[in-house]
Amino acid sequence: GAGVSQTPSNKVTEKGKYVELRCDPISGHTALYWYRQSLGQGPEFLIYFQGTGAADDSGLPNDRFFAVRPEGSVSTLKIQRTERGDSAVYLCASSTTGSGYTFGSGTRLTVV
Amino acid sequence: DAKTTQPNSMESNEEEPVHLPCNHSTISGTDYIHWYRQLPSQGPEYVIHGLTSNVNNRMASLAIAEDRKSSTLILHRATLRDAAVYYCILRRGAGSYQLTFGKGTKLSVIP
């Protein structure tokens, strides 16, 4: 596709449930990033993939958060035992060497 | 990462030029200056970046002070579509991957 695609666009889940958020990057972009944005704040870095491996996961807030990119393209962000504080917009971006990031429109996660 | 300082908000009239300032007094020699903007309900969008020299592209111009402690994003003719939050970010080195966003400047465009 022409841009970064994120699904679903909106997700409402109950506290304690497990959720998966999907990111489909621009074809050929080897770098993929996940960010989280709370209301009124700028995006906050979570994790960075170069190819299939997580090159930097220092932004993941705790071990309930995990992300994979098994074939070096699509990535899934997984959140276990969701809490109300996890409610935010989760943004995915991809890039190639020397280019700026291209972000998706995000998944708005609401934990009730 | 070195810190940037931007005004919380600015207003501009439609079809007039807009100058969005950014201070980065602790910038290092290898820091690139990046600008992104975020329209409502969308992810951030790359606008422009530079190191030392002024830069122009189809979206905007970036004017970088000679001492690199400040920069200005210039929108030559504001349209309603330019209403967004504009983020000024320092990215360390050409190979650095992480962007550290602040709160940015919310630009309102008045018809």
Backbone phi and psi for residue B88, each to the nearest 5 degrees, phi listed first:
-105, 125
How many A×B Cβ pairs under 8 Å? 51
- Residues B35-65 have pLDDT tens digits of 999 999 899 999 999 999 999 999 999 999 9
Q: Write a three-state SS string for B32-55.
A: EEEEEEECCCCCCEEEEEECCCCE
Predicted confidence band at B95 (pLDDT cuts at 50, 70, 90)?
A: low
Residue range B67-76: mean pLDDT, rounded: 96
Residues in chain B with CB shorter than 8 Å from the CB of A21 are: none
- Residues A28-81 have pLDDT tens digits of 999 999 999 999 899 999 999 999 998 899 999 999 999 999 999 999 999 999
Q: How far apart are CA B74 and CA B93, in angstroms?
A: 24
Say if residues B107 and B19 touch (Cβ distance below 8 Å).
no
Mean pLDDT of the residues in chain B: 92
Give the CA count within 13 Å in the CB-facing half-sphere of B9.
4
Q: Which of B34, B43, B97 is nearest residue A106 as measured by Cβ atoms?
A: B43
- Among chain A residues, CA nearest to B88: A42
